[in-house]
Structure 1
Amino acid sequence: MPSFRHFILQQRVLHLYRSAIRASRCIPDPRNRTETLGWFRAEIERNRHLTDTVAIENQLNAASREIRQLFPGTRC
């Protein structure tokens, strides 16, 4: 049974994914936007099996950095 910490991390993953969706609106080409979101979702799915909270936090931090690099200013 997942702990409270797992629940909090799950919410952080969802928040990060929503942020990526919002930030991707700045990509003018619909095909590139779809590919970028598909790649991000695949990364989330690839790490779905993780249960160690430290490993999950490390993946979240890495994904946050990648989003900031891909979309430096979320304003279009």
Structure 2
Amino acid sequence: MSFSGPTLKHFILRQQALHLYRGAVRASKAIPDPVTRKETIAWIRDEFERNSHLTDLVLIEDKLRIARREIKSILPTFSRTK
């Protein structure tokens, strides 16, 4: 019997994505304009929701790497901590 569901790596990457999302939302508090802050959070959320269907591990890792770089360039107060 073969199980083709999510692997441990999928769960680890999901946790990394959630950590990245939460960190980005926290870092967005440094944006003084409330409208801009809401738009930034909406953009971040849309990006994560748009990619939530991915199952290919390499693609997920690439997307996380790109997201970290983009978030850090937009939100300089964002720090990557584990």
**Which TM-score bucket, shorter chain as reference?**
over 0.9
Residues 20, 68 of structure 2: 8 Å contact kept: yes
Normalising by structure 2, report the TM-score: 0.86
User: Which amino acid is 1:4 matched to?
Assistant: L
Give the aligned partner of residue 67 of structure 1. Answer: 71
How far off its partner does 1:73 sit?
Answer: 3.1
Task: Give the CA RMSD over aligned residues.
Answer: 1.3
Superposed CA deviations along residues 11-53 of structure 1, whole A, max 9, x for unmatched, are 0000000110111000011111110010011001111111000
Q: Answer with 1 or 2: which has the greater Rg.
A: 2
Report the count of equivalent residues.
75
* Residue number among 48, 52, 60 corresponding to 1:44 in the alignment: 48
Q: In structure 2, what is the Cα distance between the partners aligned to 1:58 and 1:70?
A: 18
Runs of 5+ in structure 1 lacking a partner? none
Once the two structures are overlaid, the 10-residue window that deviates more, 11-20 or 65-74, is 65-74
Q: In structure 1, what is the Cα distance between the partners aligned to 2:52 and 2:78?
A: 26
Runs of 5+ in structure 2 lacking a partner? none
Q: In structure 2, what is the Cα distance between the partners aligned to 1:16 and 1:58?
A: 14
User: Which amino acid is 2:46 matched to?
Assistant: A
